[in-house]
A = this chain, B = another copy of it.
Amino acid sequence: MENGKPVKIVLPEIKDPILIEGYPGIGLVGHIAANFLAKELGMEMVGYVESPFIPPMALILEGKPNPPLRFYGKDNIILAVADIYVPPTLVSEIAKELVRYLKDMNAAKVISLGGIGIGLFKEKMDVWGVGAREELNKELENFGVKILQYGSIMGMSGKLLWEASKEGLDAYVLLGETFGDRPDPRAAANVVEVLKKLTPIEVSTEPLIKEAEMIEEQLRKMHEQMEQARRKTEKQYESIYL
């Protein structure tokens, strides 16, 4: 890079922005939520991250080339999206450059979306969260979010939370409970529902719920077929040997 920095954030001036981050993680919760928002809100690509350490590639979306780490924008909302796994050192540098930009632009809010793997299914899957300050936690609690008191948040969400907190920005992390071993649009919907209370965003999460139901229906059918196959084999076995 010209100035010796390993990453460069290319973004236009967007005053008082709300940044929403949805890099890939457990259950792809943040990734699904962010891509859903970009599409449903009709957001445009407004910027990207440049670095020699990002793999050389173009993502083709709707017949147009895109860089793998990019930003979508509409009004004062900026969405940070990644289509690849980002190595730790790069995460650190991106988070720092991004917070510098957000600070310069007088950011209103910095919200990271992600998942928290719980390894089980519950009737009501909760959303956990934590903010930069006590008051933000209170705000989250009022919106039905369970406050994460102890734990560690790895990757972009954790680093962004800390770096933004350090600079006095209103930073939040929202983590939707998810089983943890598969993409989870329902957890993404849960997280977006909280996001709607934190921001002026208006969107129906119906499509995410439908997608979730479709996936669940497929899994149910697969299980049923396996169960039938098992029973059939058992019967054949019995008819031969008994």
Q: Which residues of A are in contact with B by a Cβ distance under 8 Å?
A: 6, 52-67, 83, 88-89, 91-93, 95, 130, 132-134, 137, 147-159, 161-162, 165-166, 171, 173
Contact = CB atoms under 8 A, between A and B. Distances in A.
Nearest to A112: B58
Given A62-B150, A65-B162, A92 B155 contact: no
A58 B95 contact: no
Nearest to A147: B63
A173 to B, nearest CB: 8
A63 B130 contact: yes
Contact of A165 (B65, B91, B151): B65
Between A52, A65, A162, A173, the greatest number of chain B beta carbons within 10 A of the residue's beta carbon is seen for A65
A166 to B, nearest CB: 8
B137 A57 contact: no
Contacts of A91: 56
Contacts of A162: 57-58, 65-67
Chain A interface mostly helix, strand, loop or mixed? mixed
Between A60, A154, A156, the greatest number of chain B beta carbons within 10 A of the residue's beta carbon is seen for A60
A132 B91 CA distance: 28
Contacts of A92: 52, 54, 56
A41 to B, nearest CB: 20
A157 B162 CA distance: 27
Contacts of A137: 63
Nearest to A129: B63
Contacts of A156: 56
A58 to B, nearest CB: 4
Contacts of A55: 88, 154
A158 B59 CA distance: 8
Given A58-B158, A161-B58, A53 B149 contact: no
A233 B22 CA distance: 55
Given A162-B65, A162-B66, A60 B130 contact: yes
Contacts of A88: 55-56
A163 to B, nearest CB: 9
A44 to B, nearest CB: 14
Nearest to A137: B63
Given A52-B89, A66-B162, A89-B53, A152 B95 contact: no
